Amino acid sequence: MVATNGFDKDPERAAMAGRRSKRGKSRKKSLEELLELAAPISAIEKVEKLYGELPGKTNADLLSAILVQQALGGNIQAHKEINDRVDGRAHQAIELSGDQEKPALIIERYKER
């Protein structure tokens, strides 16, 4: 039996999970395109009034400046987000033990609806 996550049988579920939208573009690609657009002037002015001049004028630059300022202000979640993006997420160590003659077998079952 081959383990499956259900995406091969349900394109609607695949679209919701971010693989492809109904228009054929991935959610990630859509977000990347939106982040590269120039940020609205009113938003740039508001952020620059609070934090000083931005290094760039895209939506990504705007969000990055806000995130950094929140982290500097003591927001732990913002600090963790920056660390995850810059340094990569910390790996979790997993230790498995047991009989080496009879290794554990994990099977994910998929129930068709």
pLDDT score, position 3: 47
Same domain, 14 and 44: no
Residue 60 located in a structural domain: yes
Joined tokens for residue 104: 């554990």
Helix 41-51 and helix 59-72: axis angle, to 10°? 30
- What pLDDT band is residue 9 in, cutting at 50, 70 and 90? low
- What pLDDT band is residue 100 in, cutting at 50, 70 and 90? confident
Domain that holds residue 16: 9-37
Same domain, 16 and 46: no
Task: Tell me phi and psi for residue 107, to 5 degrees.
Answer: -125, 130
pLDDT score, position 32: 87
Per-residue pLDDT tens digits for 56-95? 889 998 898 899 999 999 999 999 999 988 888 777 777 7
Secondary structure of residue 36 in the 3-state scheme: helix
